Every structure is written in C-alpha cells, then in structure tokens.
Amino acid sequence: MPGKSTITVHADREVHPSRAVAPPIYQTAAFSAEDAETFAQGTVAPRGKDFYTRFGNPNLAQVSAVVAELENTEAAMVTASGMAALTTAVLALVSAGDHVIGQRSTYGGTASVLLNLLPRLGVSTTLVDQTDPEAFARALTPQTRLILVETPSNPLLQITDLRAVAELARAHDVLTMADNTFATPLNQQPADFGIDLVWHSATKYLNGHSDVSAGVLAGPAEILDRIWDVGLLTGATLGPIDAWLLLRGMRTLPLRVPRHNANGQALAEALNEHPAVAKVHYPGLATHPQHKLAADQMTGFGGVLGIEFAGGFEMADAFLGRLRYPRRSASLGGVESLAVHPASMWRGMLSEEQLAESVPLGLVRLAAGTEDTADLVADALEAADAVLAEPATAATT
Ligand SMILES: Cc1ncc(COP(=O)(O)O)c(C=O)c1O
C-alpha cells in the first residue's frame, strides 16, 4: 500500500480519462451514449461517471478514488456538502420506526438532524455521552439501526472509542458512521477500527483552502450504492468545478496536516498555562481526560482546540476581537487560522436548552492554520494577556 502523499497524488490515475497531467474539468451536465444499450446501462450503473452529472462525473470519480484509498475503504462518494453526506446517508439507511444513536457532543448540524429532522420523520434518537463506551450499549434498542459518532467532536474535542463502538454495533447488526472531519484520514482511519462508514465535511481539511463546500462518504460499495440511490433523488451531487478544486486541495493534505497538528499542539500547550484560561480542550494534551485513548487511535491530534475562558461569554468574545491572525469565521481546516465562539454561532441553530447542554458559553474554538507556529502562539498569548488585563474594556470590543 503506497503512503498517503503518494495516494493523494496518484490514486485517481485510473479514473483519469485523459492524458492531461492536471485533470480537466468536466463542466457538463450530461454525457452522450453511443447506443441504446450503453445509455440504458448509464441509468442504473451505481456511482457511474459519464451518464448525467447528477449521477456522476469524472471529477467526482477522481475525488472518490483518492478518498477511498486515504480512508482505507472499498469505495467513496462525493456530495455537495458535509451535511448532504450525512442527510443522504441517514435517509438511505433508516426509516420510520427505526432508532439512531448519536453523541451529545457533536457538530451543531448533526445534533439538529438527530434532535429535529429524524424525529419529525418518525425515527427516534438517543444522544449519549461518548466518553463512556457503555453509554452506547445502554442506548441500544431492538430498533437501533445506526450509530453516529464524531471524534474528536466539534467543539469539545471529546474522543469516542471507535473500536468499542464498532464491536458493539457489529454484535447487534447495527451500522456505524463516523465523522472524521476533525481528525482527517492522516491522523485517524475509522474503518481500520471496524467503523462501516466514514464521512467528512470536505469543506474543511480535505479541501484545505476555504474555497469549496463539499462532503464525502467512504465505506463498502454496497452501502454507498444505497446512499447514492437516495442522493439521486435529493440531488446531493457536487458540481464538477468544486470537485476539481477539492481534488487539487487534497493533493497537499499530507503536507498540510502535520503543520496543523504542530500548531494545534503548541497553541494548546501555551494557552493551557495562561491565567485567563480555565481549561483547554485538546486531545494532544497529557491533561486531556481521554489523551490515552486519543493516542491509541490517532497518529496526530489535529489543528482544532477549544479554549474555555475563565471570564465566560464576554471574555471569550473579547479574545476573538483581540486576535491578529485568526479571523472570526464559522469554518476551519483551511490554511488560514479561524476562530469562533460557538455559543454565539449556534444560537440560531439550537434551542436555548440544547445550546446550554452542548457548549460552555466561554468556549472559543480555535482552528490553527498552517502559519508559523511562533506567530500564532505569540498572537494568542497577547490576546489572552489583553483580555485578562482589561476585561471590562475588552468585553465591549
Ligand atoms: C465536524 C463537522 N461535521 C460536519 C459539518 C458539516 O459540513 P458542511 O458545512 O460541509 O455541510 C461540519 C461543519 O462545520 C463540521 O464541523
């Protein structure tokens, strides 16, 4: 098996229908067929690439080939966003009367699917504390069909024991699906622990340049075929140009991730010592309550950290206003550092009750980019000094 840097550069070769060194962009809505038989085959060929772009396209097939090898799965598919990957998969895999288990600490959109969308469709859900592997077992019912995990979780960086959840699910004939957005396949390959399906907001690290909204799903071809079938109906397809940009971004993923890891670790260590900070959530810190589990299933800890400020909502908000390099933005995973105050961002997505349960109000999510480590650390420490020295003034910035 080639290494990750070789995979990201070469794994799409076989689905590269031209001799151009850089893949051409197949900016076409449809393809022509030579005869009736080929045309008929195109209508039913799962995840094909040259019938109609909503069904597939060479640019999508190229991304899929690389993702499948990176995640060590049989196949992969691409969607218009991370949320399109998730919703298309759950629509394909569960029906009214079924039960789904998710995590309490999870991306807000995933929480909303579990708390609002699925119950509206007659699918019951239970959200568990993923730091306790037994909690998944306790939540199982005879109707459970799917377990959704996310590790590290957004934004609390909690870790799920992938092997334990996969073993439990297999023993009960339940499918598992892991959001691998924060870790990236460079740091963690959930399929190696027995997880059935891996998905990403490819908008983040996979693309890495904050210029594409996309999602990917990786897993066994038979399951992906079922999801692809539903994706045809929901129209969850990514456009060819975006797929091309995503592939271009993925070429350098193995170069970018080690820098994100180093920056995340350095920021976590520096801020963990700062008096303005009550707690840093980062699985690479020896003080993280699940550091050992993280080190067992990850080879690096990623660029995202949660910084919980001693001065609560106001101090967290003021810290963001003081940062020079990380800009205030909802995304993460790009070459530029971005930061967000989840309590203010998720207000519109979750009820007050759901918000209070999912995130500490003084938490800042800082996503380290690929800038020089020393610059990011100095900037973050200066901002933390400033909010500590002048909390009242800073709170109004
Ligand atoms: C961990 C995680 N999963 C899924 C998503 C949703 O992905 P997208 O915004 O590409 O739909 C996000 C978005 O922030 C995320 O952070």
Contacts of 106 (CB under 8 A, 6+ apart): 114, 127, 148, 150, 153, 154, 179, 358
The catalytic position among 4, 98, 104, 107 is: 107
Of residues 4, 49, 145, 204, which has the active-site annotation?
Answer: 204
**Distance of CA 171 from the midpoint of ligand 1 (Å):** 29
Examine the residue annotation and report whether 379 is marked as an active-site residue of this protein. Answer: no
Mean pLDDT by 10 residues, the chain (397 residues): 96 88 96 93 88 95 98 98 98 98 94 96 98 96 98 96 98 98 98 98 98 98 97 96 98 98 98 97 98 98 98 93 96 98 78 76 96 98 95 45
Does residue 282 carry a catalytic annotation? no
Q: How far is the CA of 98 from the centre of ligand 1 (A)?
A: 24
Domains of the chain, each with CATH number or no CATH? 4-250 (3.40.640.10), 253-389 (3.90.1150.10)
Considering 98, 179, 196, 317, which one is annotated as catalytic?
A: 179
| Ligand 1 site, residue 161, Cβ cutoff 6 A | no
Pocket test for ligand 1, best of 107, 210, 242 (most atoms within 8 A of CB): 107
Q: Which residue's CA lies nearest to atom 7 of ligand 1?
A: 82
The pLDDT assigned to 395 comes to: 43
Q: What per-residue confidence (pLDDT) applies to 396?
A: 40
Beta strands in the chain (DSSP E): 75-79, 99-103, 124-128, 144-150, 175-179, 197-201, 215-219, 277-281, 304-309, 327-328, 338-340, 363-367
Closest CA to 396 of 386, 141, 296, 310: 386
Residue 237 C-alpha to ligand 1 middle, in angstroms? 16
Active site residue 173: no
Residue 154 CA: nearest ligand 1 atom is 1
Q: Is 83 in the pocket of ligand 1 (CB under 6 A)?
A: yes
CB of 323 within 6 A of ligand 1: the answer is no
Closest alpha carbon to 159 in 16, 308, 288 = 288
Give the model's pLDDT for residue 392.
55
Q: Which of 158, 177, 182, 201 to mutate to test the pocket of ligand 1 (most atoms within 8 A of CB)?
A: 201
d(CA 34, CA 376): 57
**Which residue lies with its CA nearest to atom 8 of ligand 1?**
82
Measured from the CB, is residue 346 less than 6 Å from ligand 1? no
- pLDDT, residue 391, reads 52
**What whole-number distance in Å separates Cα of residue 98 and Cα of residue 119?**
10
CA of 69 to the centre of ligand 1 (A): 22
Active site residue 54: yes
Q: Is the dihedral angle over the CA atoms 280, 322, 355, 116 positive or is it negative?
A: negative
How far does residue 215's CA lie from ligand 1's centre (Å)?
Answer: 8
CA separation, residue 234 to residues 33, 84, 224 (Å): 25, 9, 15
